[in-house]
Amino acid sequence: MVRLLLVMVLMAGAASLRANEQLTSSLFVDPPDVLFTIQGSNTIGARLAPELVRDWLMAVGLQQAQIQSTTVENEQRIVALHSSGRQIAVNVKAHGSSSGFNALLNGEADMAASSRQIRKQERLALVRFGDLMSALSETVVGIDGIAIVVHPDNPLRQLTIGQVARIFAGEVSNWSELGGEDRPIVVHARDERSGTWDTFRKLVLGKTYSLTSAAIRFESNAVLSGRVTAEPDAIGFVSLNTIGQARALAIASGEARALLPDRLTVATEDYALARRLFLYLPSVRPNPYAQDFMRFAVSWLGQQVVDQVGYIPQNVTPLSPVLDDEPLYYREQVDHYYRLSVNFRFYEGKARLDNKALKDIERLALFLKEQPGRLLLVGFAENKGYNPNAKLLSRLRGRVVRQALIREGVPRGRVDVLGFGAYLTLTDQQTHSGKMKNRRVEVWYRPDAKPAMETL
């Protein structure tokens, strides 16, 4: 397991970052009784969205903000007192990612929460609300990792994605086939409306496998994790913050190195089953309260809530991984640098940064302003066998990120670029998502002053 050293963010820098947060408190002169409704992903709606809403209400000056359960399962109401003495509320309904887009379409919600990116057909159906994949509409609120979990006494430590697929398809049905005891495997899975299930189906089962009919289905990550913890022969998949007392397995994509879902591997999306958590807001006549909440969710303070809930925040953090299997040349180049908790990835044939990357450029530039140092951008290409242009392509990708940072105000002389070609691949899958995972730019950081460190 990779051992990490967390570099503590300087207090002065964090205070300055918090001072830059701007919330539109003028909206609350005469607010409605219900400010807005969020509907969608249980992964987001069970804990993250309610706690973000509560802290947002307090940040804009409302009093006694609290999260209340309702009579409907997986629905909550966050209430607070206005200065006039009136109670105002925000509704959060967590019935799966698909339900959020349906609620937008039917006028039953002002914002959709999704643990997967919006599908093409959903985007087309909602076109009257604007382009929901535009920077105004689509926001990554945090990073999650789908953990493959087993009972804490299970001796198994790692699996490949192929093995996971065969287990959940029912082709591997006994633990003895994986070196364990002669006992049947009990498969637990999320329900059909879940974004967690949709991501698992796409990343693990693909078009080759179907979920076994013997699988026990759950609407809640937490309930599924609890069942796995209670059943010695169980296996399941859950969101990162709901592993609970179950034990997560290290996962490898084919012959690539197996990685556990941890702070670095998930933040950089290097972990095979890392995923983004999205909020979607109409760009045509958006609810102004939901719009202000979205700004808070991706702010420094909002990302601290993401961290406290158990997901991986997008605030830039320096980390120091132990490099064991990497080539000597690579280790020499990054020696004396810290790895930053952000990667930049590219679609095939495109050098345009996506919505998350654009926000990460802003975060990275602000981080470097608060904690001056040098950046080393290490580009990688996808694995296509022998490709004489791989090193050139990987370097060009690093240059794209460098130019974006320069436009954001980072001094040109503070950023170096290294192209590493098609080496250190994270997956051997030749799917679109697999190629995109390998097609990346790592960010390494060398501070001007040596920071204090804390062992994780």
- CATH class of the structural domain 316-455: alpha beta
Q: For residues 424 and 325, what is the distance between their CA atoms, to the nearest angstrom? A: 9
Q: For residues 422 and 409, what is the distance between their CA atoms, to the nearest angstrom? A: 30
Q: Residue ranges of the domains in the chain?
A: 31-141+276-309, 147-266, 316-455
Q: What is the pLDDT along the chain (456 residues), one digit of tens a residue?
A: 333 333 333 333 343 344 344 555 678 888 999 999 999 999 899 999 999 999 999 999 999 999 999 999 999 999 999 999 999 999 999 999 999 999 999 999 999 999 999 999 999 999 999 999 999 999 999 998 899 999 999 999 999 999 999 999 999 999 999 998 999 999 999 998 787 888 898 889 988 999 999 999 998 999 999 999 999 999 999 988 889 999 999 999 887 788 898 888 899 998 989 989 999 999 999 999 999 999 999 999 999 999 998 889 999 999 878 777 778 888 899 999 999 999 998 766 566 788 898 899 999 999 999 999 999 999 988 765 556 687 888 899 999 999 999 999 999 999 999 988 777 777 665 555 656 677 889 999 999 976 544 444
Distances (CA, A) of 196 to 272, 320, 400: 14, 30, 32
285 contact partners, CB below 8 Å, separation of at least 6 = none
Q: Are 142 and 312 in contact (CB under 8 A)?
A: yes
- CATH class of the structural domain 31-141+276-309: alpha beta
For the chain, how big is the Rg over CA atoms in Å? Answer: 22
DSSP for 302-368, please give it: HHHHHHHHTSB--S--EE----SSS-HHHHHHHTT-EEEEEEEE--TT-----HHHHHHHHHHHHHH
Domains 147-266 and 316-455 share a fold: no
pTM of the model: 0.80
Burial group, residue 26, by CB count within 10 angstroms (0-12, 13-18, 19+): exposed
- CATH class of the structural domain 147-266: alpha beta
Residue type, 9: V
E strands of 182-293, at which residues?
Answer: 186-190, 216-218, 234-238, 247-248, 250-252, 274-280
The token pair at 101 is 């887009």
Q: Are 196 and 43 in contact (CB under 8 A)?
A: yes
